[in-house]
Amino acid sequence: MDTSQRPILAPAARTEPIFVPGRDPVPVTLLTGFLGSGKTTLLNRILNGDHGLRVGVLINDFGAINIDAELVDSIEENTINLTNGCVCCEIRDDLVRSLEELLLREKAVDYVILEASGVSDPSGIVMTFLDQKYEKLLRLDSITCVVDAEAIFTHGDDQELNTLKMRQISFADMVILNKVDLVGPTHLEVIHEWIGHHLKRIRIIEATRCDAPLEILLAVGRFDPVRAIAAHQKPSEAHDHPHEDDAHGHGEAHSQFQTWSYETDRAFAQDALGEMVRRKLPAEIYRCKGIVHVADSPGERFSLQAVGRRTELTSLGPWGEQVPCSRIVAIGSSIDAAALTALFDSCLAG
Ligand SMILES: Nc1nc2c(ncn2[C@@H]2O[C@H](COP(=O)(O)OP(=O)(O)OP(=O)(O)O)[C@@H](O)[C@H]2O)c(=O)[nH]1
């Protein structure tokens, strides 16, 4: 069968159901949202919340190095990293294997949260969860999309990016409109109008650092397969441009993203690094993040974050057992790898 002809949300052909006798399906929350919108911030807020659940976490970073895994406050044995690709397509098999690994363990988790990569199209992920062989193993509870209120219209003339951002929103059953501390009321109104113009009746919660109440995030049973299928089947209502078949439209969306990574055991000069990232990162870099070793405070791990022109260089505390080193990833379009490497090299200490 030509798989490109298969409707994207049609459950796969029935195979033997996978389940653990006597165990109810485990609820799964999917976190989506464009690069740098605040998904990891939300994940940490949930993990640190007072819910008493044993939460399994799947973290998908599009780049070659999984930086998020180091920034998430989860229990190591319950965390699986899905790196170097996107779980909605290239590494969907890894997602399936990891889900089964988490859910078929003797000491199973009570809840699963999947943080999708910032370039994921949710439809491919939803299809995985709707596979009939999993209907007794897991239940998709909700899809929460985090939107960066400040950056939502950045690269607004790029139709593919706009379409991807709108697809992420249209598959969600709740939107966290995050970073409202960075924008004014008029800008917020424009966003509400823009989302409302494309999608009716979507719940939008404004937040700073994703400070939404836990009660509306976990075990809420909001996922509606009928609505998700409609989000796929009526693309022209939900998006500026119709989404083509999965293989074509989606593949195109990903081909515009390039990743770059950098590793060194030499230390950076903190001020030079901060200044360079703030002022000199090319506009084609949508997102840059890393764990860095700085000569000024050699005993501390630092987190480097850049979303557009916004940057943060914050201490994560001592290195502990880890040998200090720096690992940085960037995602963008038309990345000049040699030039970017030279920019970071120029910030190395002495
Ligand atoms: N000012 C401000 N910054 C925020 C807020 N929420 C998150 N941030 C910052 O935004 C940056 C990106 O946040 P993350 O939570 O890593 O975003 P993400 O969506 O997980 O990023 P990717 O996984 O790379 O797509 C970090 O520097 C955060 O500290 C907010 O509400 N206000």
pLDDT tens-digit map of 93-119? 889 899 999 999 888 899 999 999 999
The residue whose CA has the least distance to atom 26 of ligand 1 is: 305
Least confident of 20-29, 167-176, 209-218: 20-29
Distance 171 CA to ligand 1 centre (A): 21
Average pLDDT over residues 163-171: 92
Measured from the Cα of 35, ligand 1's closest atom is 25
Element (H, E) at 158: none
DSSP 289: E
Distance 152 CA to ligand 1 centre (A): 13
- Does the pLDDT value for residue 183 go beyond 50? yes
pLDDT of residue 244: 37
pLDDT of residue 147: 98
How does DSSP assign 28-69, residue by residue?
EEEEE-STTSSHHHHHHHHHTSS----EEEEEEESSSS--HH
Distance 21 CA to ligand 1 centre (A): 40
Please, is 202 exposed, middle or buried when counting C-beta atoms within 10 Å of its C-beta (0-12, 13-18, 19+)?
middle
The residue whose CA has the least distance to atom 27 of ligand 1 is: 305
- Does the pLDDT value for residue 10 go beyond 80? no
Distance CA 201, CA 326 (A): 44
Kindly report the number of other CB atoms within 10 A of residue 325's CB atom. 15
pLDDT of residue 105: 87
Both tokens assigned to 228: 């998700």
pLDDT of residue 235: 52
- The terminus-to-terminus CA distance of the chain in angstroms comes to 60
Most confident of 11-15, 81-85, 102-106, 319-323: 319-323
CA distances from 249 to 12, 120, 274 (A): 20, 13, 37
Measured from the Cα of 178, ligand 1's closest atom is 31
Kindly report the number of other CB atoms within 10 A of residue 311's CB atom. 18
- Helix-then-strand count for the chain, H and E: 11, 12
Q: Provide the H-helix boundaries in the chain.
A: 39-47, 68-71, 92-103, 122-130, 159-170, 185-198, 225-233, 235-238, 251-255, 270-280, 337-345
Residue of 292, 268, 291, 258 whose CA lies nearest to 343: 268
Distance 308 CA to ligand 1 centre (A): 11
Q: Do β-strands 174-178 and 203-206 pair in parallel, antiparallel, or remain unpaired?
A: parallel
Measured from the Cα of 61, ligand 1's closest atom is 23
**pLDDT bucket at 127, cuts 50 / 70 / 90:** confident
**pLDDT bucket at 5, cuts 50 / 70 / 90:** very low
CA distances from 122 to 228, 238, 270 (A): 10, 14, 37
Instruction: Give strand pairing partners of 156.
Output: none
The domains of the chain, with CATH numbers, are: 3-253 (3.40.50.300), 258-345 (3.30.1220.10)
| pLDDT greater at residue 348 or residue 78 | 348
Distance 39 CA to ligand 1 centre (A): 7
Measured from the Cα of 211, ligand 1's closest atom is 31
pLDDT of residue 232: 65
Distance 310 CA to ligand 1 centre (A): 10
The residue whose CA has the least distance to atom 9 of ligand 1 is: 38
The residue whose CA has the least distance to atom 5 of ligand 1 is: 209
pLDDT of residue 66: 85
Kindly report the number of other CB atoms within 10 A of residue 143's CB atom. 28
The residue whose CA has the least distance to atom 14 of ligand 1 is: 38
Element (H, E) at 297: none
Per-residue pLDDT of 219-241, as tens digits, reads 999 999 888 877 767 554 434 33
Convert 16-32 to b/e letters by CB count within 10 Å (16 or more is b).
eebbeeeeebbbbbbbb
Average pLDDT over residues 29-37: 97
Using only the alpha carbons of the chain, give its radius of gyration: 20
The pair phi, psi for residue 89, each rounded to 5°, is: -150, -80
Average pLDDT over residues 107-136: 91
> Which residue from 30, 34, 40 has its CB within 8 A of the most atoms of ligand 1, so it is best to mutate?
40
Considering the chain, what percentage of its residues have pLDDT values greater than 90? 63
Element (H, E) at 143: strand 138-148
Average pLDDT over residues 145-159: 94
Distance 307 CA to ligand 1 centre (A): 8
Distance 177 CA to ligand 1 centre (A): 12
> Which residue from 30, 31, 41 has its CB within 8 A of the most atoms of ligand 1, so it is best to mutate?
41
- Does the pLDDT value for residue 316 go beyond 70? yes
CA distances from 19 to 22, 59, 99, 100, 295 (A): 9, 23, 12, 10, 52
Instruction: Give strand pairing partners of 27.
Output: 139
Please, is 151 exposed, middle or buried when counting C-beta atoms within 10 Å of its C-beta (0-12, 13-18, 19+)?
buried
pLDDT of residue 234: 56
- Pocket lining for ligand 1, CB < 6 angstroms: 33, 35-41, 68, 118, 178-179, 181-182, 208-209, 287, 289, 305, 307, 312
Average pLDDT over residues 77-101: 86
Measured from the Cα of 310, ligand 1's closest atom is 27
Distance 202 CA to ligand 1 centre (A): 22
Kindly report the number of other CB atoms within 10 A of residue 255's CB atom. 10
Instruction: Give strand pairing partners of 176.
Output: 146, 205
Least confident of 6-10, 170-174, 204-208: 6-10
Coil, strand or helix: which one is 242?
Answer: coil
pLDDT of residue 226: 85
Q: What is the ipTM of this complex?
A: 0.99
Average pLDDT of the chain is 87
pLDDT of residue 12: 52
Distance 203 CA to ligand 1 centre (A): 21
Residue of 104, 126, 78, 140 whose CA lies nearest to 18: 104
